[in-house]
């Protein structure tokens, strides 16, 4: 109705469940409710879990994470994946072996691990083994020493991030100022993280 009159009401729900739902404010169609409740009836009142295939990135995160830090759901889904794909279970075993080398700073098992990687039948993993063998001395030093280039890589990431944020709209002086400020903030945060207080 024109002239500021009351607006037309929303059409009520249709079907046998219309009155109870309309009294509680539902304005949709009853068919949607039936579809949602059908799975509950099959599982005796509890909603059926929505299961979908995990993404490759999600599976990679589960495999890389230490077993004691994984969520129970991730553990169970990995167990099901390993049952369907034994090759994935073998890859998981090799990842855990490499993680043990890193944790213990012990590279004695590295040659045998590389041989296992090269002969596992996966072209990508064989390529990884070949790449590590080309600079095996550096890989051994990376495993046995407590030092890493992580801080330098972090600085490079900061520079690239600032470069992308400014997207060519800022000159070198502003970029330099932002990178120095981020380095200062990171140092302040790391000092606070190591402080006993």
DSSP string, 125-178: HHHHHHHHHHTHHHHHHHHHSS--SHHHHHHHHHHHHHHHHHTTSS-HHHHHHH
Q: Are 86 and 57 in contact (CB under 8 A)?
A: no
DSSP reduced 3-state for 122: coil
Q: Is the pLDDT of residue 182 over 80?
A: yes
**Tell me, what's the pLDDT at 22?**
74
**Is-contact 94 117, C-beta < 8 A?**
yes
pLDDT of amino acid 4: 47
The mean pLDDT value of the chain amounts to 79
Please report the sign of the dihedral spanned by the C-alpha atoms of residue 173, residue 179, residue 185, residue 188.
negative
Structure confidence at residue 93 (pLDDT): 93
Under DSSP, the state recorded for 1 is -
The residue written with tokens 């539902």 in the block is 26
Residue 50's pLDDT band (cuts 50, 70, 90) = low
Q: Which two tokens stand for residue 24?
A: 């509680």
Render pLDDT for 100-121 as a digit per residue (tens, 0 to 9).
Answer: 998 898 999 999 999 999 998 8
Residue scoring higher pLDDT (10 or 152): 152
What tens digit of pLDDT does each residue of 80-92 get?
999 998 889 999 9
pLDDT in tens, 161-177: 888 887 777 788 888 88
pLDDT of residue 15: 55
What pLDDT was estimated at residue 140?
A: 92
pTM assigned to the model: 0.55
Q: What is the secondary structure of 91-104 as a DSSP string?
A: HHHHHHHHHHHHHH
DSSP symbol at 13: P
Looking at per-residue pLDDT, the higher value among 126 and 30 belongs to 126
Residue 1 has pLDDT above 80, yes or no: no
Q: How far is CA 175 from CA 72, 154, 156, 166, 167, in A?
A: 45, 16, 13, 8, 11
Q: Select, from the ranges 14-28, 81-95, 182-196, the one with the highest average predicted confidence (pLDDT).
A: 81-95
């Amino acid at each position: 109705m024109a002239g500021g009159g009351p607006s037309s009401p929303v059409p009520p729900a249709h079907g046998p469940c219309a009155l109870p739902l309309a009294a509680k404010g539902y304005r949709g169609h009853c068919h949607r409710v039936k579809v949602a409740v059908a799975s509950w009836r099959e599982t005796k009142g509890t909603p059926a879990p929505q299961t979908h295939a995990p993404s490759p990135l999600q599976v990679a995160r589960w495999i890389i994470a230490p077993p004691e830090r994984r969520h129970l759901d991730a553990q169970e889904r990995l167990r099901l994946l390993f049952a369907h794909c034994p090759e994935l279970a073998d890859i998981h075993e090799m990842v855990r072996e490499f993680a043990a080398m890193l944790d213990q700073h012990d590279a004695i098992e590295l040659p045998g691990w590389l041989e296992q990687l090269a002969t596992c039948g996966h072209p990508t993993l064989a390529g990884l083994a070949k790449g590590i063998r080309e600079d095996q001395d550096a890989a051994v030093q990376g495993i046995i020493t407590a030092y890493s280039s992580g801080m330098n890589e972090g600085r490079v990431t900061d520079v690239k991030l600032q470069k992308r944020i400014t997207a060519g709209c800022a000159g070198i002086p502003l970029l330099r100022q932002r990178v120095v400020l981020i380095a200062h903030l990171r140092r302040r945060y790391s000092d606070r993280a190591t402080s006993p207080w």
